Chains A and B, each alone.
Chain A
Amino acid sequence: MMTEASLPARPTRPMTQRLSTVADMRPTDDFLERPQKVVATNVNFFYGSHQALYDVSLRMPQNCVTALIGPSGCGKSTFLRCLNRMNDMIEGTRVEGTILLDDVDIYRPKTDVVELRKRVGMVFQKSNPFPKSIYENVAYGPRVAGVKQREVLDGIVEQSLRRSALWEEVSDRLNESALRLSGGQQQRLCIARALATDPDVLLMDEPASALDPKSTARIEDLIFELKDTYTIVIVTHNMQQAARVSDQTAFFYEGHLVEAGATTDVFTKPRQKQTEEYITGRFG
């Protein structure tokens, strides 16, 4: 079993400082009494006849980072895509159960999916900037939402790039192609692009898995800053990363949510044997 001292260090922030933040939220029960931003209840998910999620219930508190961990193929991305209904794009899929965003079921028939996706932003595993300028990438969300005035767009672009800690690096070349940026910069651009629609929730599917350690550290720092404003759900393959950035950790295994709780608890005193085996690296 891991002890607190054996938790991996956050690369740019002193260990103690980071841990005290998590410690503030103990015990677990207090943690879950914070306002609930997204609440999934008894979610089953099917790709055609293949069931990928079994009866998943998870509460994602406001201004918290929830990390989804588990071996490859256990349904983390599937669950994440349920939260902004990106699974709707895949033909033949079906969802059961309820997912509440601010107490409203996002799967009720009246839901405007376009509106939902503006409130629940998403960052993908592989950075996927549009083959357009840096400016146009960030301005795309507001533009499709109907913002036309140049000054308003300029403001949104600058603010989003500042929030994603990219402004200093690109402010003098906003009209250059986004594809010229480095991998880490591209991923921060994708975060800026997601922030530009002014979402409440930010979903990140292994946002740093394709990046070098330095860029990864930047993204992790960024997540730490962004949670003051947003509710973040992040999928990660990397145990250390989950331990470093998240407040709550949810462990998935073969479509089931095995265990969820405050990150320090899950990592230091997991209740389930499977969780313990996974975080200590015995499988997956």
Chain B
Amino acid sequence: MSSLPRNGRPYAKLASQLFAYACAACAFSSVAILVLLLSQMLRFAWGWLDWQFITSFDSQLSPDKAGVRAALVGSIYLIALTTLFSVPIGVGSAIYLEEYAQRSRWRGIVQTNIANLAGVPSIVYGILGLGLFVRGMQMGAGVLAGALTLTLVVLPIVILASQEALRAVPSTIRQASYALGATRWQTVWHQLLPAALPGIMTGVILALSRALGEAAPLVAIGAAGFVMFTPRGINDSFTALPLQIYNWTENANDDFRIHVAAAGIIVLMVMLICLNATAVFLRYRFGKRIHW
């Protein structure tokens, strides 16, 4: 009769433990998949990833001579220009929405749309970029058109992250500033932006690492896959790392398809890891100075 546990606690404890193990297994498997992927790529790229690979242009026929130079330089140009466009516009929009705009129906609509835009597939932005920049403004499929298209892709993310960072600044700071006779702009510039900067930068860097890995919108605007020069002006045609890798994987030659592509992937991954490390560093470095 009394063999049943009185309050069921032993079972609850067991269930809780099982749940914890299940969660740990999930976390572990995601790390395991990443390690597996990386080691596989490294194995394929072994012997192919060398200084010659970094400094050479692509080659039509010989995998030994192929390199990522054009794609690497193209990607760096793209990211630099995308940063240049997306940061001022994105942070400016966030400041407007958070600090200036009255709570109105119009603001609600804008806000909802930004959230929706963040979820739109990047190929859609590519088609928009093709229509707007490449054809409409007659830029051609150059670096500028590519960067503007990627700006469209990352802008919603930059705006949302910046809004989040501004919202995290305690309202007591705003009140103190206004009570001392500071204008809205002075409050934004002297108090809110410095306090929100680590958050904004983290958001920007995460957005940029997304831009760095995007191939679809660049394909859509018609960026070249095979380029034997680095762009000299902003309207020069270009290629980028994800595009170049995609191109290699389409090659019939196994050396290109497997080994050269893997070497390209490693270069891309290293760039991504560098960006993310910068985000972590900035967070740590600037985050330390502010304790609310």
A contact set with B: CB distance below 8 Å: 84, 86, 89, 91, 114-115, 117-118, 121-122, 124, 126, 128-131, 140-141, 143-145, 177, 179, 190, 193-194, 197
Residues of chain A within 8 A (CB-CB) of B186 are: 144
Q: Are B103 and A91 in contact (CB-based, < 8 A)?
A: yes
* Contact string against A for B residues 67-107, beta-carbon threshold 8 Å, 1 for contact and 0 otherwise: 00000000000000000000000000000000000110000
B103 touches A193 (CB 8 A): no
**Does A84 lie within 8 Å of B292, measured CB to CB?**
no
- Of the candidates A89, A126, A131, the one whose C-beta lies within 8 Å of that of B178 is A89
* B179, A121: Cβ atoms closer than 8 Å: yes
- Which chain B residues have a beta carbon within 8 Å of chain A's beta carbons? 102-103, 170, 172-183, 186, 190-191, 195, 289-292
Neighbour of A114 across the interface among B170, B172, B183, B190, CB < 8 A: B183
- Closest B residue to A193 by CB, please name it: B180
Q: How far is A122 from B178 in the complex, measured between Cα atoms in Å?
A: 10
Residue of A nearest to B185 (CB): A144
Q: Can you pick out 27 interface pairs between chain A and chain B where the beta carbons lie within 8 Å of each other?
A: A86-B175, A86-B178, A86-B179, A89-B175, A89-B178, A114-B181, A114-B182, A114-B183, A117-B180, A117-B181, A118-B181, A124-B176, A128-B173, A128-B176, A130-B173, A130-B177, A131-B173, A131-B195, A131-B289, A140-B180, A140-B182, A141-B181, A144-B180, A144-B183, A144-B186, A194-B179, A197-B180
Complex: A118 Cα to B179 Cα, angstroms: 8
Q: Are B175 and A115 in contact (CB under 8 A)?
A: no
B-side contacts of A121, CB under 8 Å: 179-180
Q: Specify which chain B residues have a CB less than 8 angstroms from the CB of A91 in the assembled complex.
A: 102-103
Whether the Cβ atoms of B179 and A144 lie closer than 8 Å is no
A122 touches B289 (CB 8 A): no
Question: Most A CB atoms within 10 A — which of B176, B183, B190?
Answer: B176
- How distant is A133 from chain B, measured CB to nearest CB, in Å? 11
> Does A179 contact B291, Cβ atoms closer than 8 Å?
yes
Say which residue of B103, B178, B191, B291 sits within 8 Å of A130 (CB atoms): B191
How long is the Cα–Cα vector from A141 to B289 in the complex, in angstroms?
22
**A177, closest chain B residue (CB):** B289
Expressed in whole angstroms, the Cα–Cα distance for A128 and B177 within the complex equals: 10
A124 touches B181 (CB 8 A): no
Query: Which residue of the partner chain B has the closest CB to A84?
Result: B179
A115: B residues at CB distance < 8 A: 181
Residues in A with CB closer than 8 Å to B174 are 89
CA A179 to CA B176, docked complex, whole Å: 15
Measured CB to CB, the closest approach of chain B to A111, in angstroms, equals: 13
How many angstroms between the C-alpha atoms of A121 and B177 in the bound complex?
11
Instruction: Please give the distance in Å from A47's CB to the nearest CB on chain B.
Output: 14
Residues of A within 8 A of B183 (CB): 114, 144
**Smallest Cβ-Cβ distance to A143: which chain B residue:** B190
Q: A86-B175, A190-B176, A194-B179 are in contact. List 13 more A-B contacts (CB 8 A).
A: A84-B179, A89-B174, A91-B103, A114-B181, A118-B181, A126-B172, A128-B172, A128-B173, A130-B173, A130-B177, A131-B291, A144-B177, A197-B181
Nearest CB in chain B: distance from A152 CB, A? 17
Cα–Cα, bound, A62→B231 (Å): 72
Instruction: Give Cα A143 to B254, complex, Å.
Output: 67
A118 to B181, CA, bound (A): 5
How far does the Cβ of B8 sit from chain A's closest Cβ, in whole Å? 43
Q: A114-B181, A144-B183, A144-B190 are in contact. Are A131 and B175 (CB under 8 A)?
A: no
- Best-surrounded residue of A131, A177, A190 (most CB of chain B within 10 A): A131
Q: Which residues of A contact B290 (CB under 8 A)?
A: 131
Are A140 and B178 in touch, CB under 8 angstroms? no
With a cutoff of 8 Å between Cβ atoms, the chain A residues found around residue B180 in the complex are 117-118, 121, 140-141, 144, 193-194, 197
Q: Which residue of chain B lies nearest to A137 when distances are taken between CB atoms in the complex? A: B176
The 8 closest A-B pairs by CB, nearest first: A118-B181, A128-B172, A122-B179, A141-B180, A144-B182, A117-B181, A131-B290, A144-B186
CB distance from A95 to the nearest CB of B (A): 17
Question: Which B residues touch A145, using CB under 8 A?
Answer: 181
Closest to B180 in A: A141
Whether B172 pairs with A124 at a CB distance below 8 angstroms is: yes
